[in-house]
């Protein structure tokens, strides 16, 4: 018996030792990397013994729970191809140690600064990424001195050590213009100078002033003359490194080098990692399986441009791209899900800031990337749009700033783009964002809804000074639109050819465009309601709905126009459209040429905005209404469904400022639903009470501590004067059913109260 127990314990101990060895080998590791203090011969397992290079990391495959910490403030060149997947519970984490300055990974001409290729459950935090250097390996180095005496001759003295001869008298040049271009890749300490020397008409020498060489392309031009001459370029040192020289557009020297590649990556479609034609800060590729669980947080991604010499690809730079590759013929379907982009700034990209793109799934609506969150991010001066989700569902974008999308501050930029636009997406909510200063000859709205979407709502956003306009909705969309947004001075673009209803800026634009000029696709359930729009006197954006756009619901929009300025044109085509339009306010209405459909139940009174600047204040708070505004409680009641995604029959319950919007009581007109406490039988503003405010005939006026004369002017909902009455009792017996505004005059004070006549 004792022997059996001993054998049992020996076997148990052996099993425990085996399990310790087995799971001990897969224990998560923390790796440290420092370009300033590291060595690739170190084990990388402590701050005292960090790795040094990206190459070292690229040689490794990481396991669930592993962390890679880059030293604060250090700098690396190249593409970090992060190999290995975590699990949901134990992701692989890339982060920072040793300070508050971001570590920098310069993609240095590779396709991306960070590549994730068919791996998942990964977090990347706290880094700075950029990528705009040449895709050619600069290891092939030449200097002026090493090309002397072949391309250059020895200079006349120690001040001018090397000379390049462009032309000489008698070579047939006959005084033509000389253009010498040298691409400098490195300068010696202290820099280097050049100067032009040339002969003049009497063949004496002219010595031009010295000029400094700079890194990159240096172009030296000597204008043409009508006599023969000699032209030379002198250089102060032979230690100038360069990779290309041309004279009069003829290539004299081009090092060429080799394309930067990472072994094993991607094949032809990805140029083996080369960033010749297209660049990324971060690229995630799903080509062999579905991928999930990515967190990108607190990143600074900027200056993402492909090799600038390739003119046809100058704009193909993207901050982050999620790319899925599918082949439905062979049954390969791949998606990316559960992605979070948080607290990140993306700026100065050739094209989009953040792009989700699915390849090989055209025409398939049932397969989409899923669960995308973009929160507290800043998209600034992106060459194209800030965020473009494609074939994605359950997308939430909130508390972000989109500023100067479609930027042109760099010639390599696309120069066109709305702040955000979903394409072929489902269940997208964009809320509490700022869309400002979008630029471009087309689109370039604060945000727009492209085609093929379902259940997309832009709500509680602030839209300011966007060239294209405020709200753009294309075709083949279901249940998509805008509500409770504030738009200030959007739509200043003029059509370059003066064509009406074309490229000119617009307040609202609904079309049925769905990717072809020959096929049109109407929408179902388009909505635009409870938005506040301000247009100053310098702008005159249009309102335009195409024919055959489907059913459109336009309610409770408050549109305020500065009284001066050009007339604003509107056109709602009626051919095959179902338009449900009511309770929109236009003030000053003399500045807008209203289509008859927009005039349906329209209101034309002053809404009493807090804004006091006729040019428009750049502040959402300025577009609330005063307590005595006639818009209070005057809107069309939107209700009838408990489904919060049925945006036409469910009003969302909140306004732009977080005030409650009732499902039973008519709302305000516009994006602000704030008011004093409202009783259906009495409205109290300051010291005045009018009761009942829903009546078949009489209403009473009560003013605390006042027994003097009262005079009341009564106006209809459209601003029509209905008459005046004196005293503390008003009769509406002869009035038709509807809403009326009572302007009560007493003690030199005017107050506006609302009455409903049954």
Q: How confident is the model at residue 257 (pLDDT cuts 50, 70, 90)?
A: low
DSSP 305-360: ---TT-GGGTT-EEEEEEEEE-BTTTTB---EEEEEEES-EEEEESS-SEEEEEES
Distance CA 282, CA 294 (A): 12
Provide the pLDDT for residue 52.
97
- Whether residues 374 and 435 share a domain: the answer is no
Mean pLDDT, the chain, whole residue set: 90
DSSP 707-756: -S--EEEEEETTS-EEEEEESSEEE-TTSPSEEEEEEEEETTEEEEEEEE
Q: Give the 3-state secondary structure of residue 491.
A: coil
Q: Give the 3-state secondary structure of residue 22.
A: helix
Least confident range of 156-165, 300-309, 340-349, 588-597: 300-309
Query: Which one is predicted more confidently, 115 or 750?
Result: 115
Provide the pLDDT for residue 686.
43
Q: How confident is the model at residue 4 (pLDDT cuts 50, 70, 90)?
A: very low
Whether 719 shows a pLDDT value over 70: the answer reads no
Query: Which one is predicted more confidently, 743 or 444?
Result: 444
Q: How confident is the model at residue 268 (pLDDT cuts 50, 70, 90)?
A: very low
Query: Which one is predicted more confidently, 515 or 258?
Result: 515
Give residue-wise pLDDT tens across range 500-518.
899 999 999 999 999 988 8
- Global pTM reads 0.75
Indicate whether 24 belongs to any domain.
Answer: no
- Whether residues 394 and 499 share a domain: the answer is no
Selection from 418, 494, 501 nearest residue 463 by Cα? 418
Burial (0-12, 13-18, 19+ Cβ within 10 Å), 28: middle
Provide the pLDDT for residue 435.
98
- Whether residues 421 and 513 share a domain: the answer is yes
**Domain limit, last residue, from 639, 655, 675:** 675
Q: How confident is the model at residue 611 (pLDDT cuts 50, 70, 90)?
A: confident
Indicate whether 587 belongs to any domain.
Answer: yes
Q: How confident is the model at residue 416 (pLDDT cuts 50, 70, 90)?
A: very high
Query: Which one is predicted more confidently, 83 or 266?
Result: 83
Whether 2 shows a pLDDT value over 50: the answer reads no
- Assigned token pair, 162: 């090397």
Q: Give the 3-state secondary structure of residue 429.
A: strand
Whether 266 shows a pLDDT value over 70: the answer reads no
Provide the pLDDT for residue 140.
61
Provide the pLDDT for residue 136.
75
Q: How confident is the model at residue 245 (pLDDT cuts 50, 70, 90)?
A: confident
- Average pLDDT of span 299-306: 96
Q: How confident is the model at residue 355 (pLDDT cuts 50, 70, 90)?
A: very high
Indicate whether 352 belongs to any domain.
Answer: yes
Q: How confident is the model at residue 621 (pLDDT cuts 50, 70, 90)?
A: very high
Whether 315 shows a pLDDT value over 80: the answer reads yes
CA distances for 706 relative to 371, 702, 741, 755, angstroms: 61, 8, 22, 22
Place of tokens 């297209």: 278
**Domain limit, last residue, from 616, 645, 675:** 675
Provide the pLDDT for residue 7.
44
Provide the pLDDT for residue 1.
40
- Average pLDDT of span 624-642: 93
Indicate whether 10 belongs to any domain.
Answer: no
Burial (0-12, 13-18, 19+ Cβ within 10 Å), 554: buried
Q: Name the most confidently modeled range: 55-59, 134-138, 246-250, 616-620.
A: 55-59
Strands (E), 390-520: 392-398, 401-403, 426-431, 434-436, 445-449, 454-459, 462-464, 469-473, 478-483, 486-488, 506-510
Q: What is the CATH number of the domain that holds 266?
A: 2.160.20
CA distances for 537 relative to 67, 171, 501, 558, 607, angstroms: 57, 65, 20, 17, 18
Q: What is the CATH number of the domain that holds 228?
A: 2.60.120
Q: What is the CATH number of the domain that holds 711?
A: 2.60.40.3080
Selection from 375, 397, 460, 374 nearest residue 653 by Cα? 460
Query: Contact, 574 vs 602, CB < 8 A?
Result: no
- Whether residues 250 and 159 share a domain: the answer is yes
Provide the pLDDT for residue 223.
94
Q: How confident is the model at residue 471 (pLDDT cuts 50, 70, 90)?
A: very high
Percentage, residues of the chain above pLDDT 90? 71
Q: Give the 3-state secondary structure of residue 261.
A: coil
- Whether residues 76 and 170 share a domain: the answer is no
Provide the pLDDT for residue 363.
84
Q: How confident is the model at residue 103 (pLDDT cuts 50, 70, 90)?
A: very high
- Whether residues 275 and 421 share a domain: the answer is no
- Assigned token pair, 27: 């224990």
* Phi, psi for 2 (deg, rounded to 5): -60, -40
Indicate whether 718 belongs to any domain.
Answer: yes
Q: Name the most confidently modeled range: 189-198, 693-702, 733-742.
A: 189-198
- Whether residues 635 and 696 share a domain: the answer is no
Indicate whether 8 belongs to any domain.
Answer: no
- Whether residues 114 and 125 share a domain: the answer is yes
- Whether residues 39 and 120 share a domain: the answer is yes
Please state the domain count of the chain: 4
Provide the pLDDT for residue 3.
42
Query: Contact, 340 vs 303, CB < 8 A?
Result: no
Q: Across the beta sheet with 506-510, what order do the strands follow?
A: 445-449, 469-473, 506-510, 542-545, 568-572, 592-593
Distance CA 333, CA 686 (A): 64
Provide the pLDDT for residue 107.
96
Least confident range of 129-138, 585-594, 617-626: 129-138
- Whether residues 101 and 64 share a domain: the answer is yes
Provide the pLDDT for residue 303.
97
Secondary structure tally for the chain: helices H, strands E: 2, 59
Indicate whether 1 belongs to any domain.
Answer: no
Indicate whether 12 belongs to any domain.
Answer: no
DSSP 190-232: T--EEEEEEE-TTS-EEEPPPEE--SEEEEEEE---SS---EE
Give residue-wise pLDDT tens across range 368-411.
999 999 999 999 999 999 999 999 999 999 999 999 999 999 98
Q: Give the 3-state secondary structure of residue 21.
A: helix
Least confident range of 3-7, 511-515, 632-636: 3-7
Whether 415 shows a pLDDT value over 70: the answer reads yes
Q: Which domain holds residue 207?
A: 142-254
Query: Contact, 718 vs 751, CB < 8 A?
Result: no
- Whether residues 547 and 652 share a domain: the answer is yes
**Domain limit, last residue, from 675, 705, 729:** 675
- Assigned token pair, 5: 């127990």
- Whether residues 633 and 720 share a domain: the answer is no
- Average pLDDT of span 407-422: 95
Provide the pLDDT for residue 758.
74
Least confident range of 318-327, 725-734, 738-747: 738-747
- Average pLDDT of span 615-633: 92
Provide the pLDDT for residue 362.
86
Provide the pLDDT for residue 271.
57
Provide the pLDDT for residue 717.
65
Q: Which residues contact 251 (CB under 8 A, 6 or more apart)?
A: 244, 245
Give residue-wise pLDDT tens across range 8-43.
444 444 454 444 444 444 589 999 999 999 999 999
Q: How confident is the model at residue 436 (pLDDT cuts 50, 70, 90)?
A: very high
């Amino acid at each position: 018996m004792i022997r059996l127990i001993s054998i049992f314990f020996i076997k148990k101990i052996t099993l425990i030792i085996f399990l310790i060895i087995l799971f001990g080998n897969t224990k998560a590791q923390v790796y440290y990397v420092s370009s300033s203090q590291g060595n690739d011969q170190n084990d990388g397992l402590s701050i005292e013994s960090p790795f040094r290079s990206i190459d070292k990391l690229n040689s490794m495959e990481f396991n669930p729970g592993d962390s890679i910490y880059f030293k604060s403030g250090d700098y690396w060149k190249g593409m970090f191809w992060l190999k290995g997947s975590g699990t949901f519970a134990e992701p692989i984490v890339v982060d920072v140690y040793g300070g508050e300055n971001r570590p920098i990974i310069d993609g240095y001409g590779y396709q991306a600064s960070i590549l994730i290729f068919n791996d998942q459950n990964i977090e990347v935090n706290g880094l700075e990424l950029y990528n705009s250097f040449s895709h050619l390996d600069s290891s092939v180095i030449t200097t002026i001195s090493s090309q002397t005496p072949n391309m250059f001759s020895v200079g006349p003295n120690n001040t001018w050590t090397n000379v390049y001869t462009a032309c000489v008298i008698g070579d047939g040049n006959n005084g033509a213009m000389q253009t010498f271009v040298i691409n400098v890749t490195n300068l010696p300490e202290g820099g280097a100078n050049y100067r032009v020397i040339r002969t003049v008409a009497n063949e004496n020498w002219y010595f031009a002033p010295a000029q400094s060489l700079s890194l990159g392309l240096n172009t030296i031009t000597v204008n043409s003359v009508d006599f023969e001459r000699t032209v030379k370029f002198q250089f102060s040192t032979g230690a100038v490194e360069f990779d290309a020289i041309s004279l009069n557009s003829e290539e004299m020297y081009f090092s060429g080098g080799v394309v930067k590649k990472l072994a094993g990556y991607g094949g032809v479609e990805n140029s083996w990692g080369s960033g010749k034609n297209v660049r990324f800060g971060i690229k995630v590729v799903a080509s062999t399986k579905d991928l999930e669980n990515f967190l990108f947080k607190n990143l600074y991604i900027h200056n993402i441009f492909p090799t600038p010499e390739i003119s046809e690809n100058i704009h193909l730079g993207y901050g982050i791209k999620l790319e899925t590759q599918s082949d439905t013929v062979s049954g390969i379907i791949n998606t990316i899900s559960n992605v979070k982009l948080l607290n990140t700034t993306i700026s100065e990209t050739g094209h989009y800031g953040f792009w989700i793109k699915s390849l090989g799934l055209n025409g398939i609506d049932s397969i989409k990337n899923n669960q995308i969150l973009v929160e507290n991010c800043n998209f600034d001066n992106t060459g194209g749009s800030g965020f473009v989700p494609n074939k994605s569902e359950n997308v939430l974008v909130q508390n972000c700033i989109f500023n100067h999308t479609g930027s042109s501050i760099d010639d390599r930029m696309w120069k066109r783009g709305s702040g955000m636009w979903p394409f072929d997406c489902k269940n997208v909510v964009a809320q509490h964002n700022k869309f400002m200063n979008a630029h471009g000859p087309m689109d370039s709205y604060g945000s727009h809804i492209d085609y093929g979407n379902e259940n997309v709502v832009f709500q509680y956003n602030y839209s300011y000074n966007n060239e294209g306009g405020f709200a753009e909705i294309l075709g083949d969309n279901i249940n998509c639109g805008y509500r409770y947004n504030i738009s200030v001075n959007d739509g200043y673009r003029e059509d370059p050819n003066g064509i009406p209803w074309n490229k000119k800026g617009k307040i609202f634009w609904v079309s049925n465009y769905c990717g072809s000029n020959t096929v049109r696709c109407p929408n179902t359930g388009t909505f635009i309601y409870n938005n506040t729009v301000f247009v100053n006197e310098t702008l005159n954006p249009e309102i335009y709905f195409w024919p055959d756009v489907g059913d459109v619901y336009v309610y409770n929009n408050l549109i305020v126009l500065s009284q001066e300025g050009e007339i604003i044109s509107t056109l709602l085509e009626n051919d095959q459209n179902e338009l449900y339009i009511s309770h929109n306010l236009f003030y000053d209405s003399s500045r807008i040429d209203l289509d008859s459909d927009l005039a349906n139940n329209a209101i034309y009174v002053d809404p009493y905005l807090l804004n006091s600047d006729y040019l428009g204040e750049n502040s959402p708070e300025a577009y609330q209404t005063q307590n005595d505004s006639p818009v209070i409680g005057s809107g069309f009641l939107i209700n009838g469904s408990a489904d919060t995604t049925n945006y036409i029959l469910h009003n969302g319950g909140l306004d732009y400022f977080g005030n409650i919007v009732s499902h039973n009581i008519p709302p305000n007109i516009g994006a602000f639903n704030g008011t004093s406490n409202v009783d259906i039988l009495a409205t109290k503003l300051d010291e005045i009470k009018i009761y009942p405010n829903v009546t078949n005939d009489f209403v009473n006026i009560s003013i605390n501590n006042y027994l003097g004369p009262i005079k009341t002017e009564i106006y209809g909902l459209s601003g029509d004067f209905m008459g005046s009455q004196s005293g503390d009792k008003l009769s509406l017996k002869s009035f038709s059913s509807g809403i009326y505004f009572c302007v009560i005059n007493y003690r030199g004070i005017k107050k506006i109260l609302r009455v409903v006549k049954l």
